[in-house]
């Protein structure tokens, strides 16, 4: 388990990158960190991996401090947004380098995955495209066999096919061993089909951190057309409305409550049209953050 409490980090010029951040990341599921550029995601990742020292606060992995703790760092592999490779290295050079650092590095699997991703091991890494470098970084991270894998914008630069392949690999790894990936992104849609828990960073702090399934169970999105529009305002008093959009006589509501309860309420009212819609992760976050007084659309799109 990763436990972060009261974390702060500033840079020269008084730039506050991380501001009194508190976060708990449970084991053996994919945790997503969403936020705009400058929200503090990369700085947080570097502190979580022990690359940067916090000004104040604690970061503990399995109850142990991370910074200047080699034993804990052996259980962490960090893939930064701009991954490091030796200038004239090929894939085999990087494999041998990391095999010398991580005792459990799976060289046979590395060779297999390299072939499956169609990466030529003899080619110099500097000749790879951005997406190919991302693929190589992920393969190295998975084959290091650490308990924790930190991926900073790892899917950025991958084409749709490679994105799905990468997500499948992460899911397979969780099924087979003790493994916890933490993935940052500025795109909620990118994380929707892989993350079980998502945290939203804003101005260096955690604005919201929730389990996706819990959010989906307790939020409903419905569209309807009332048979008697004059009864609408009275009917709405029985609803826990988070968002309401109106286009002519068509009303779209985002509501708190479980599906059965919400549908039972609407069943009591005469409707010309009623439909229960699926909520996207982005819509869930928009609803939750607007209630908290923020416009997540501005936070995400910058």
Q: Return the CATH number at 250.
A: 3.30.70
Residues 26 and 104 placed together within one structural domain of the fold: yes
Average pLDDT of the chain is 88
pLDDT in tens, 183-228: 988 777 777 778 889 888 877 888 778 887 777 778 899 999 999 9
Question: Are residues 96 and 201 both part of a single domain?
Answer: yes
Clarify whether residues 196 and 253 are in a common domain. no
pLDDT in tens, 43-76: 999 999 999 999 999 999 999 999 999 999 999 9
Residue 266: its pLDDT value, please?
94
pLDDT category of residue 295 using cuts at 50, 70 and 90: low
Q: How large a percentage of the chain has pLDDT more than 90?
A: 57
82 and 137 housed in the same domain: yes
Residue with tokens 């005469």: 270
Residue 232's domain comprises 218-301
Closest CA to 252 of 224, 287, 216, 291: 224
Mean pLDDT of 235-240: 93
Query: Is the domain of 238 the same as that of 263?
Result: yes
Residues 149 and 26 in one domain: yes
Entry pTM: 0.81
Domain shared by 173 and 264, yes or no: no
Residues 24 and 125 in one domain: yes
Overall domain count for the chain: 2
């Amino acid at each position: 388990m990763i436990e972060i409490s009261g974390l702060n980090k500033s840079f020269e010029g008084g730039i506050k990158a991380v501001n009194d951040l508190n976060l708990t990341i449970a084991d053996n599921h994919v945790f997503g960190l969403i936020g705009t550029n400058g929200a503090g995601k990369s700085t947080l990742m570097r502190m979580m991996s022990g690359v940067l020292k916090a000004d104040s606060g604690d970061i503990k992995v399995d109850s142990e401090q991370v910074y200047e703790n080699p034993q804990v760092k052996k259980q962490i592999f960090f893939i930064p947004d701009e991954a490091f490779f030796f200038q004239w290295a090929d894939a085999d050079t990087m494999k041998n380098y990391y095999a010398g650092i991580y005792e459990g590095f799976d060289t046979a699997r590395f060779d297999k995955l390299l072939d499956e991703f169609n990466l030529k091991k003899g080619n110099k890494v500097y000749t790879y495209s951005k997406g190919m470098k991302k693929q190589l970084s992920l393969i190295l991270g998975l084959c290091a066999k650490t308990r924790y894998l930190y991926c900073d914008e790892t899917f950025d630069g991958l084409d749709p096919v490679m994105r799905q392949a990468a997500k499948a690999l992460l899911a397979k790894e969780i099924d087979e061993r003790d493994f916890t990936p933490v993935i940052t992104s500025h795109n909620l849609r990118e994380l929707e089909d892989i993350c079980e828990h998502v945290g939203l960073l804003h101005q260096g702090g955690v604005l919201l951190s929730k389990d996706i399934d819990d959010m989906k169970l307790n939020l409903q999105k419905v569209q309807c057309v009332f048979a008697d529009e004059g009864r609408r305002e009275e009917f709405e008093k029985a609803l826990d409305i988070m968002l309401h959009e109106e286009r002519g006589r068509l009303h779209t509501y985002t509501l708190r409550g479980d599906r059965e309860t919400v549908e039972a309420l609407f069943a009591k009212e005469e409707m010309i049209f009623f439909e229960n819609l699926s909520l996207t992760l982005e819509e869930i976050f928009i609803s939750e953050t607007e209630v908290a007084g923020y416009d997540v659309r501005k936070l995400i799109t910058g």
